[in-house]
Amino acid sequence: MLAYLGRRAADALLAVLGVSTIAFLAIRLSGDPVALLITEYATPEDVERVRRALGLDLPLWQQYLRFLADALRGNFGESLRFLKPAAPLVYGALPATVLLAAAALVVALLVGLPLGVLAGARRGSLADGAAVAVATLGQSIPYFWLGILLIMVFAVHLRWLPAFGSETLRHLVLPALTLAATPMARIARIVRSGIVEVLTHDYVRTARAKGLRHARVLIHHALPNVAIPVVTILALDFGTLLGGAVVTETIFAWPGVGRLVVQAIQSRDYPVVQAVVFYLAMAFVGINLLMDLIYARLDPRIRYQ
């Protein structure tokens, strides 16, 4: 177990290293960063001074080592747009993204799980057909269109909910629903096929033969065996969720990391881009590691060598 953890942690570290190398190269490949910092009145001496101050006069490998050392200390330089250190900007935006993603996951589970169980338990019924249709649609509708439709219906026409901002919990409803659609659809599909499969097993027949009620068989015998694929999907979808958050936050002006990175790319604010990429990669890799550990809890048959 410990050896396994060590190997996974080493892999995770390598992934973060790879990603931060991309982030480092981003700033070097996209042109002279000094050009973004100076005004047109700067003399060649000024340019040289800025270059030296940023360490850009050093050989590339020295710059790279410096960048890594700084990144480990959470120092990504100053945002070119806000003229503040980049890392705290990311920390500041992180809670909003976590709140949004968590709310979306809760909605996805609350809708997707019962939908999948219902469909799987009554395979071939009208309810099953409806559930599959909802899941297929949920998988196909792009976040940004769903977001626009929700704004149009609930904010513009019915005026029930606010379309933009983040002041109250009511502001959370539409973005969370938007972000929930895809994971909801995935969960419903996976749970459905899991239930269909599990219901053919002998232990389910035994439970039935004992005279247990249908609902009890479903909840106590079938559902726990569907938990693993659901956790897998949640882990895999965490990345999709982050990607979806980028778009969703932009639509709803939700002040999270996604909106921060889009604005940073648009204004060529590379320190912020680097910081966001670094932290999101860390978060993603960390969550994947955590999910692996959760598997072992859920399924005693899984033992790591």
Partner 1 sequence: MAALATAFLALVVLAAVAAPVVSPHPPTRQQIARRLTPPAWMPGGSPEHLLGADQLGRDIASRILFGARISLTVAALAVGIAAATGVSLGVVAGYYGAWADRVLTRLADIQLAFPLTLLVITLIAILGPGLVNVVAALGLGGWAAYFRMTRAQVLMVREMEYVMAARCLGVPDARIAWRHVLPNAISPLIVLASFSVAQVIILESALSFLGLGVQPPTPTWGGMLADSRDYLAIAWWLAASPGLALTLTVLAINLVGDWLRDRLDPRLVL
For the bound state, the minimum distance from the C-beta of residue 281 to partner 1, rounded and expressed in Å, comes to 6
Using CA atoms, how far apart are residues 207 and 175, in angstroms rounded to an integer? 42
Using CA atoms, how far apart are residues 82 and 264, in angstroms rounded to an integer? 10
The residue among 212 and 236 lying less far from partner 1, judged by its C-beta, is 236
Using CA atoms, how far apart are residues 189 and 197, in angstroms rounded to an integer? 12
Going by the DSSP 8-state scheme, the letter that residue 38 receives in this structure is S
Closest CA to 188 of 119, 121, 102: 119
Using CB under 8 A, list all residues that contact partner 1: 11-12, 14-15, 18-19, 22-23, 25-26, 29-30, 136-137, 139-145, 148-149, 151-152, 156, 190, 193, 229, 238-240, 242-244, 246-247, 250-251, 261-262, 265-266, 270, 273, 277, 280-281, 284-285, 288
For the bound state, the minimum distance from the C-beta of residue 29 to partner 1, rounded and expressed in Å, comes to 5
User: What are residue 301's phi and psi, to 5 degrees?
Assistant: -75, -25
Q: Which residues contact 47 (CB under 8 A, 6 or more apart)?
A: 34, 38
Closest CA to 96 of 252, 270, 231: 252
The residue among 187 and 261 lying less far from partner 1, judged by its C-beta, is 261
For the bound state, the minimum distance from the C-beta of residue 285 to partner 1, rounded and expressed in Å, comes to 5
At 243, list the tokens. Answer: 């990607």
For the bound state, the minimum distance from the C-beta of residue 41 to partner 1, rounded and expressed in Å, comes to 27
The residue among 218 and 270 lying less far from partner 1, judged by its C-beta, is 270
For the bound state, the minimum distance from the C-beta of residue 39 to partner 1, rounded and expressed in Å, comes to 23
The residue among 6 and 216 lying less far from partner 1, judged by its C-beta, is 6
The residue among 55 and 239 lying less far from partner 1, judged by its C-beta, is 239
Beta-bridged to residue 85, according to DSSP, are: 78
